[in-house]
Amino acid sequence: MNPVAPHVIDTLDAWLRHQMLITEQPGLSMAIATAGQTLVRKQYGHADLVAAERLTSGHVFRVASHSKSFTAAAVMQLRDRGRLRLDDPVGRFVGGLHDRVAGQPLSALLSHSAGLTRDGTDSGQWGLRRPFKSREELLAELANGPAIRPNTRLKYSNHGYALLGMVIEQVTGEDFAGWVARELLKPLGLRKTWPDVPDAARARPPRMASGHSGVWPVGRRLSFDVNRPVGALASAGGFVSTASDLARFFSLLDPDAENPVLSPEARLEMTRPRWPEPDASAGRWYGLGLLTAAPACTPAFGHSGVFPGVLSRTLNHGTLGATISMISNAADGMAPVWLDGAAMILEEGGKGGEPDAALLPWAGVWWSDWVPFLVMPQRGRILVGQASAPMPFTDRSELVPVSGRPGEARIARAPGLGAYGETARLLTDARGRGRELWLGGTRLLPAAGASAALRRRFGD
């Protein structure tokens, strides 16, 4: 299987461009990596929609709760070095805690099973309504004790991961950001990742993509600066990164990868599912700093992130043998949804082998009078899915080329309301590019041709 074969990436690119068009998202960054190497990196749209600043590979984003995976890796580094144990109570390192909080082992904080408050009594910092909480404010809230009985269920807690940042500082005798940058990020070659926004005194600060509101309730998107330090919450949600760095980092968390700073045993502990996510339909579990697939499912792990106006998600996909990361800079960002669609395209595209050159003109987004289709050729067959769907090949058709008849195929698979058993035809121009595609009696055109046809018939 080669999920990043050129014809597959071309299909993924066409689908993402179409999705950006119909959802009118500000910007999207996408990367695919394996074994610490970036294989694909693409950007779409704007870093700042209001300022009309195009998104480039040089822009970085707030990646929010991806920070927890970095923090967990840092804790596991210290465990590998014999400087702490996962069953150590957090009160051994941080004073002033409620007794029932102080007694919780580090493993409970890492797996969100310590029963701690998620964000305290006022989480306005995540709406940019108030400054991010200081260490003293966090400790004052944790002095109130757990919110629920510990060790009973998954209960997500930014406060818990803030505590882990304090543990790292106590064990190392250094500030969290400095130690993690030197001991974890630099050895892994993550040059565009920081534990918090870099110090303003840096000679060349990175270009930060803006956050954006949704269209509603204002009626238009607002852009806003997310380049503000989160301080004591950096270990929970302060990291700054790129899709490429995220994809590379999570690919290196695979226990079979060559990782220079984290043992295979530590990575096995991180990726092992520990707690199911209750009262949710996603079927996810949590390991140590990682969202994972359920134990009986295909091995997969990663994390998501929600910062004001920036949504992100990364997935190390066991079947693909690759890691995908997406970041969208809007409160209604589609990156978490599109990642699953991208995985489907990569998985389906990798199954059939690379197509003959004669089938390549079939590829792309084709429009009927009203509905767009996504077409991806493979060796010996052509897949036809719904371009506007979040999972484009769920109810797909499959075309089988007719031997000896270039540009002709038989519809060998189709939903019951489709044109099963009929003929598909591709008409090309003088340069061999597809100009018209017929599925049975339905004519499909490229976007420009479909637009022109609709304008002729119905006017502007």
What does the pLDDT look like over 410-435, one tens digit per residue?
999 999 899 999 999 999 999 999 99
- Tell me, what's the pLDDT at 352? 79
In CATH, the number for domain 6-65+192-251+296-349 is 3.40.710.10
pLDDT in tens, 307-326: 999 999 999 999 999 999 99
The residue ranges of every structural domain in the chain are 6-65+192-251+296-349, 357-458
- Indicate the residue type of 105: P
Helix (H) / strand (E) element for 314: namely strand 310-317
User: How crowded is residue 92: how many other Cβ atoms within 10 Å of its Cβ?
Assistant: 16
Confidence of residue 92 (pLDDT cuts 50, 70, 90): very high
3-state helix, strand, coil in the chain (%, to 5): 30, 25, 45
- Tell me, what's the pLDDT at 2? 83
- Please state, in angstroms and rounded to a whole number, the distance separating the CA atoms of residues 312 and 334: 9
In CATH, the number for domain 357-458 is 2.40.128
Judging by beta carbons within 10 Å of its beta carbon (0-12, 13-18, 19+), is residue 98 exposed, middle or buried?
A: middle
Helix (H) / strand (E) element for 41: namely strand 37-48
- Tell me, what's the pLDDT at 297? 86
Confidence of residue 460 (pLDDT cuts 50, 70, 90): low
**Rounded to 5°, angle at Cα 60 from 57 and 65:** 130
Confidence of residue 350 (pLDDT cuts 50, 70, 90): confident
- Tell me, what's the pLDDT at 353? 85
- Please state, in angstroms and rounded to a whole number, the distance separating the CA atoms of residues 363 and 27: 24
CA–centroid distance for 185 within its chain = 19
pLDDT at 90 over 70: yes
DSSP letter assigned to residue 379: T
pLDDT in tens, 291-303: 999 998 889 999 9
Judging by beta carbons within 10 Å of its beta carbon (0-12, 13-18, 19+), is residue 214 exposed, middle or buried?
A: middle
pLDDT at 363 over 80: yes
pLDDT in tens, 202-261: 546 789 999 999 999 999 999 999 999 999 999 999 999 999 999 999 999 999 999 999
Say what the pTM is.
Answer: 0.96
Judging by beta carbons within 10 Å of its beta carbon (0-12, 13-18, 19+), is residue 402 exposed, middle or buried?
A: middle
- Tell me, what's the pLDDT at 198? 81
- Tell me, what's the pLDDT at 282? 84
Sign of CA dihedral 213, 218, 219, 222: negative
pLDDT at 200 over 60: no
pLDDT at 166 over 90: yes
Cα–Cα nearest to 15, from 295, 375, 432, 300:
375
Residue 63 near residue 305, CB atoms below 8 Å: yes
CA–centroid distance for 19 within its chain = 16
